[in-house]
Amino acid sequence: MSQLKKNRRAAEILKKLAEHYPDATTALNFSNEFELLVSVVLSAQSTDKQVNQVTRELFQKYRTPEDFAVLAPEELAEEIKGCGLYRNKAVFLVQIAKQLVSDYNSRVPANRQQLEALPGVGRKTANVVLSLAFGQDTLAVDTHVHRVAARLGLASGKNTLQTEKELLDVIPLLQRKDFHHRLITHGRKLCKARKPLCSSCFLSDLCPSNPLQPPGSVF
Is 83 among the annotated ligand-binding positions?
Answer: no
d(Cα 107, Cα 193) in Å, to the nearest integer?
37
Tell me which residue of 145, 93, 97 sits closest to 124, measured CA to CA: 145
Is 198 among the annotated ligand-binding positions?
Answer: yes
d(Cα 78, Cα 59) in Å, to the nearest integer?
14
Q: Give the contacts of 152 (CB within 8 A, at least 6 positions apart).
A: 13, 203, 206, 207, 208, 209
| C-alpha dihedral sign at 58, 62, 66, 69 | negative
**Active site (catalytic) residues:** 124, 142
d(Cα 86, Cα 98) in Å, to the nearest integer?
18
d(Cα 161, Cα 33) in Å, to the nearest integer?
24
Contact of 44 with 85, CB cutoff 8 Å = yes
d(Cα 164, Cα 142) in Å, to the nearest integer?
10
Helix (H, G, I), strand (E, B) or coil at 208: coil
Per the annotation, binding residues for [4Fe-4S] cluster are: 191, 198, 201, 207
Per the annotation, binding residues are: 191, 198, 201, 207
